[in-house]
Chains A and B, each alone.
Chain A
Amino acid sequence: MSQLEINWDKEPVPLSRVPIIEEVLRVPFNISNEEILETWRMVEVEKLDIRTITMGINILDCRDADAEKTGRNIYDKICLSARDLVKVGQDIEKDYGIPIINKRISVTPIAMLVDGFSADQIIKIGHYLDQAALEVGVNFLGGFSALVHKGYTRGARELIKAIPETLASTEHVCSSVNVGTTKAGINMDAVYDMGKIIKTTAQLTADRDGLGCCKLVVFCNAVDDNPFMAGAFHGPGEPELVLNIGISGPGVVGNVVKNNPDCDLGELANRIKNTAFKITRSGELVGRVASSRLGVPFGIVDLSLAPTPAVGDSVAEILEAMGLERVGTHGSTAALALLNDAVKKGGAMASSYVGGLSGAFIPVSEDAGMIEAAAAGALSIDKLEAMTCVCSVGLDMIAVPGDTPAETLSAIIADEAAIGMINRKTTAVRIIPAPGKQEGDYVEFGGLLGRAPVMSVNKNLSTLFINRKGRIPAPIQALNN
């Protein structure tokens, strides 16, 4: 019987057979054309993307008495666990028409499984990590890390020694060191050491403007489930395998602000919130689909506005669209606070599990607007430090003169760590003392890492303060039991 013939003999449909509302919603498709075009516009024009799918892998079981064997075990486990990660990521991009820029891996902090090994042996383990990243096709692998907020283990001490050489001789490995927490205070011995480690890392990669430092983050209150590099690691409380999603979308939020030049800040916050909801939903979807296709539990969506050097993909441009002549001027901190909060409020509703860093990033070299503001002299390190009090994640991708003393770098780290410790938030320092460069010169890293003007630091020394070392006690905020 063709579909056009009507069977008049059929009994009338009883009322109980009238489709219930869920069935009606299934067919026809009830999304309006305007909404479909809005999604199209977000991706094609405003550069909405999923910044990263990061697979966390527990490698504690890879430890062997022999360092070489440990490295091989780690390599094997990563290659086995993440063999389909890139393929599944690419399939999801095609199926849903939303770009997934990076597929990455984070592993258990390496310091947790290298006690008894020497720095040289740990560098070799770093090479195995690099090879594993290359083999599965991810661009970065995080977890060459140590958590030393209260003090050093033998493994952590050797790992930190191994950082400069590892970052210089590998391409994909990222390193992070947690030097403080609200609960533990700040380990100033580690802060002292990290200033020197950063200097050495820059010198070993001097031919590439100190590129090694772009892969090294010093944290206070580091989080276990951060999907973003260079600070991602698979924390001690995480499951065997997990997928964490980092969303993006400064361009989408920027357009909301630009298209609403006259509304007051309360209304503006509301509109940013609505948009953040939609952006985050796309991350939630990608997370759920990837989790089901890979058979790996879905961890969290990280609600961060992550800029790239591309024009129109800038957090600085959002702040300027709010009415600041240049980011870095008075009012920047307030504008950023509003933005950061609105993104969180919209995002928190959109995802079942929110985590990671979840806050707007303000890296200098990775954000076209930040670069311009720094070059024009509108944005200083001091203002950036103030801005990190109201957003994630810290002084990020900042180039300073190559002759900056290690103690000054340590003091910059100590300041950021203090902000994090007192305000119970994550802060970080990813700073590049660019070898041979002076204030006003440029460093070029290329790709997502971008380029940056070398910014000036305070010339007055902090050496005696840093040389005291020891431990800054946990603040009264920690005593909340």
Chain B
Amino acid sequence: MEEGKRAIITVLGHDRVGIIYGISGVLANNNVNILDISQTILKEFFTMVMVVDVSQSLVEFAELKEQLAGKGKELGLQVNLQHEDIFKFMHRI
């Protein structure tokens, strides 16, 4: 099967200054384009979902995933990078 080129970043944790700055910095350094960002804050609990294009990424998927998780740790957040197809498969027929 043909696998899609986009990936989803989920960021979860306590709200603080500089979350988008930190995450998007990692993405910019690796030439990963952001296609969409949305975030919600519920009682200080911060959730952000980013749709990114990884087709031009300078590093492998696994490496990018590690860098993002590392940045998340620095900011006290859980950051996850997943291929888009898992969501499409689960939630759309």
A292 at the A/B interface (Cβ < 8 Å)? Answer: yes
User: Which of chain B's residues have a CB closer than 8 A to the CB of A288?
Assistant: 1
Contact status B62-A36, CB under 8 Å? no
A284 at the A/B interface (Cβ < 8 Å)? Answer: yes
B43 at the A/B interface (Cβ < 8 Å)? Answer: no
CB distance from A432 to the nearest CB of B (A): 38
A94 at the A/B interface (Cβ < 8 Å)? Answer: yes
Bits for B72-93, please: 1 = Cβ < 8 Å to A, else 0. 0000001011111111111110
A281 at the A/B interface (Cβ < 8 Å)? Answer: yes
Question: Within the assembled complex, what's the spacing in Å between the Cα atoms of A37 and B81?
Answer: 13
Kindly name the residue among A30, A33, A38, A98 whose own CB sees the greatest number of chain B CB atoms within 10 A.
A33
User: Which of chain B's residues have a CB closer than 8 A to the CB of A292?
Assistant: 1, 3
Contact status B10-A40, CB under 8 Å? yes
Bits for B27-39, please: 1 = Cβ < 8 Å to A, else 0. 0000000011010
| Total count of chain B residues near the partner, CB < 8 A | 30
B57 at the A/B interface (Cβ < 8 Å)? Answer: no
CB distance from B67 to the nearest CB of A (A): 13
Contact status of A37 and B6, CB under 8 A, knowing A29-B84, A284-B89: no
Question: Within the assembled complex, what's the spacing in Å between the Cα atoms of A44 and B78?
Answer: 11
CB distance from B21 to the nearest CB of A (A): 21
User: Dominant SS at the A interface?
Assistant: helix
Contact status of A37 and B10, CB under 8 A, knowing A29-B36, A281-B89: yes
Closest to A97 in B: B82
CB distance from A344 to the nearest CB of B (A): 18
Q: Which of B81, B84, B90 contacts A278 (CB 8 A)?
A: B90
Closest to B12 in A: A40
Kindly name the residue among B65, B78, B90, B91 whose own CB sees the greatest number of chain A CB atoms within 10 A.
B90
Closest to B53 in A: A27
Contact status of A33 and B49, CB under 8 A, knowing A27-B35, A95-B61, A282-B89: yes
A311 at the A/B interface (Cβ < 8 Å)? Answer: no
Contact status B82-A282, CB under 8 Å? no
Q: Which of B35, B78, B87 contacts A35 (CB 8 A)?
A: B87
B24 at the A/B interface (Cβ < 8 Å)? Answer: no
Bits for A274-294, please: 1 = Cβ < 8 Å to B, else 0. 000010011011001101100
CB distance from B33 to the nearest CB of A (A): 12
Kindly name the residue among B65, B87, B88 whose own CB sees the greatest number of chain A CB atoms within 10 A.
B87
B55 at the A/B interface (Cβ < 8 Å)? Answer: no
State which residues 16-50 of A face B: CB under 8 Å.
Answer: 27-31, 33, 35-40, 44
Contact status B92-A31, CB under 8 Å? yes
Enumerate 21 A-B pairs (CB-CB under 8 Å) in ascending A order.
A28-B36, A29-B36, A29-B84, A31-B88, A33-B38, A33-B40, A36-B87, A38-B91, A39-B87, A39-B90, A40-B10, A44-B78, A91-B62, A94-B62, A95-B62, A95-B82, A95-B83, A96-B83, A285-B89, A289-B85, A292-B1
Residues of B within 8 A of A (CB): 1, 3, 6, 8, 10, 12, 35-36, 38, 40, 47, 49, 51, 61-62, 65, 78, 80-92
